[in-house]
Amino acid sequence: MTRVSAVAAVLLLFVVPFSAEAQRLAPTTGVASNQVQVLAPAGDSLWSGPLLTLYLEPADRPRPADSLLAAQVPALTDEDNVVFALAARNEAGPRSLVWAGLAFSAGQNVAAGGFLVSTDGGETFDRRADQLDAPEDTTVAYGPATLPATPVVQEANSAPQDLALGREGDTVWVAGNQSGLRRSVDQGQTWSRVVLPPDTLRSITPDSSYNFRVGPPQDEGPGWQNHLVFSTLMDDTGTLWAGTGAGLNRSRPQDVSPTGERAWRRFEAGPQPDRLTGNTVVALAEQPRPGGRNPIWMASWASGGGAEGQRFGVTMTPDGGATFRKVLVGERIFDLAARAERVFAVGAQGLFVSADQGQTWRSIEDFPLKSDAKTLPPEVEARSVAVTPSALWVGTTEGLLRLDRTQEQRLLPSAADAPTPRWTLLRAQVPVNPSPEQTSEQVPDVESYAYPNPFVPSRDQLLRIAYELDAAGPVTVTIYDFGMNKVWSTTETQPAGQQETTWDGTDDRGLRVPTGTYFYTVEGNEETVRGKILLSN
């Protein structure tokens, strides 16, 4: 599952305090971050990022109360890393193989931060180095040839975009953007380059001799967009797929030489019906269909170069690459998931669902919640999607949504007139006025708080002001500039308990306010609380 937004956009809102010494799963009351960018099923349970949270279905829980567990790992708590890619071996219960690809913000770039690997379902994690080269790695062997190679030594632009596990869990592949496709056969102790076709060739085989450069695009000449890898998948037949900036690459089991080198076939975009919609393949998903070959679905984006007629959309192959079919043409899709009977896609316009192999789709833009009569606000974006035997999951910019599988039928195009299903929303929960045992550096004792703070409207979209009410009633929230001139105000009736009011960084006229320090007041129940906001444009 490739990630499509910068690390800097992640809201690092911790729920439980972390220890630099501890590496364990601890019960928590909400997901560790409200920006849920990546998802990975493990049996009927689910891992989510950008900080590691594990949801356990009732049958998998070690203790009845522990439905959510947070991984307390120093690589995430003591450093600036977030999880950019996730993979888990699909076996029931918390005892599973888990891989997390780490990234951190390096100026305008997303940089490689190494990996976390667990073989016991997250009870312990081992840290692994990133998949980069040494400066002297200037060649790579492929069949009878020794190919010149550009060593990728910089962390920037080499963050793990996606991970694929071998069917036995003994091999892992990482889609590493500029670092290309890499493979490890020793649980990440060492990494090796995987040679893909250059942009000038549609296929390569280790039985032939070549003389092309292996490496990312270079300023001084035409670059290899097919070396920029954004997604990877090992399917049920043992076929390895790699989505790049120049199309989709396929290597079947019969394409692997006795020495482990792979022959590859590359498929490109084009205006023809049986080509990819776009050349940049950002996400891959396998659909488990009975009685035949599992279809492969891909989210492909229009890229700046290459074939004409490129569009955003989804492409699927029902027969391992023999034929292709375009669907959802024009939609910018971020992630995909599939069951035997239906396919799910999330993108800029919300959730899409199909029960007829992509012939027809229903678009879901509203997500009514079980907890109350509210619906997630329209500015919330869907970023990731996954399925487990019991539920459909959608990661959003406002938390993790869960829908019981028994309710999925109501999402289908044929059920447009059926009662609207209601979702469970799992969010990061930091209490106002926490109890003594909850208070920590991450959970301060305050009457209200604003987050994210500093607030960058172009990145974060909304600022949220949290406060608590002893009784239901009208609440007025007012924003002032540094000179205490009123900028924006709203009054709304809120129920008792912890509540939130959102602000988009504009004044009462709808104009964007300038960078600076702002103050807010919350007036309700004959009390007033105050706070400060740092805003940057």
Contact 84, 152 (CB under 8 A): no
268 half-sphere exposure, CB direction, 13 A CA radius: 18
Torsion of CA 479, 481, 487, 492, to 10 degrees: 0
- Can you give the pLDDT at residue 430? 53
314 half-sphere exposure, CB direction, 13 A CA radius: 28
Burial (0-12, 13-18, 19+ Cβ within 10 Å), 95: middle
Burial (0-12, 13-18, 19+ Cβ within 10 Å), 124: middle
Class of 448-535 in CATH: mainly beta
Q: Where are the beta strands (DSSP E) in 279-388?
A: 280-286, 296-301, 313-317, 325-327, 333-338, 343-347, 350-354, 362-364, 382-388
Contact 206, 143 (CB under 8 A): yes
| Token pair listed for 12 | 């690092």
Contacts of 287 (CB under 8 A, 6+ apart): 294, 295, 296, 297, 338, 339, 340, 343
Model confidence pTM above 0.85: no
Nearest alpha carbon to residue 344 among 326, 329, 324, 364: 364
Return d(Cα 234, Cα 441) in angstroms, integer: 42
Return d(Cα 350, Cα 328) in angstroms, integer: 12
Return d(Cα 537, Cα 533) in angstroms, integer: 13
User: How many Cβ atoms from other residues are within 10 Å of residue 78's Cβ?
Assistant: 11
Contact 529, 448 (CB under 8 A): yes
User: How many Cβ atoms from other residues are within 10 Å of residue 311's Cβ?
Assistant: 18
- Can you give the pLDDT at residue 288? 95
Contact 195, 178 (CB under 8 A): no
| Token pair listed for 517 | 């320090």
Sequence letter at residue 523: E
Residue 170's alpha-carbon distances to 7, 102, 192, in angstroms, are: 29, 20, 15
Sequence letter at residue 97: L
Q: Max alpha carbon distance in the chain (Å)? A: 81
**Omega cis (within 30) before 452:** yes
Residue 330 falls in which region: left (phi positive, over 0), alpha (psi -120 to 50) or beta: left
User: How many Cβ atoms from other residues are within 10 Å of residue 529's Cβ?
Assistant: 17
Strand partners, 141: 146
Return d(Cα 234, Cα 250) in angstroms, integer: 10
Residue 40's alpha-carbon distances to 44, 94, 197, in angstroms, are: 11, 13, 29
Query: Looking at residue 74, what DSSP letter applies?
Result: H
| Token pair listed for 11 | 């809201």
Give the pLDDT of the chain (537 residues) as one tens digit per residue. 444 433 333 333 333 333 333 467 878 777 777 788 999 998 889 999 888 899 988 665 444 445 888 888 888 877 878 899 999 986 544 467 999 999 988 767 889 999 999 988 888 899 999 999 999 999 999 999 999 999 999 999 999 999 999 877 679 999 999 999 999 999 899 999 999 999 999 999 999 999 999 999 876 445 689 999 999 999 999 999 999 999 999 999 999 999 889 999 999 999 999 999 999 999 999 999 988 899 999 999 998 655 677 999 999 999 999 999 999 999 999 999 999 999 999 998 999 999 999 999 999 988 888 876 567 777 778 999 999 999 999 999 888 999 999 999 999 988 878 888 999 988 875 544 444 444 343 433 346 778 777 787 876 678 888 888 888 889 999 999 988 889 999 999 988 888 889 899 999 999 999 988 899 999 988 888 888 888 877
Comma-separated ranges of CATH 2.60.40.4070 domains in the chain: 448-535
Return d(Cα 474, Cα 458) in angstroms, integer: 30
Contact 480, 466 (CB under 8 A): no
Nearest alpha carbon to residue 416 among 462, 361, 374: 361
Return d(Cα 146, Cα 531) in angstroms, integer: 63
- Can you give the pLDDT at residue 66? 54
Contact 10, 33 (CB under 8 A): yes
Per the listing, tokens 């910018």 go with 332
Nearest alpha carbon to residue 251 among 271, 237, 272: 237
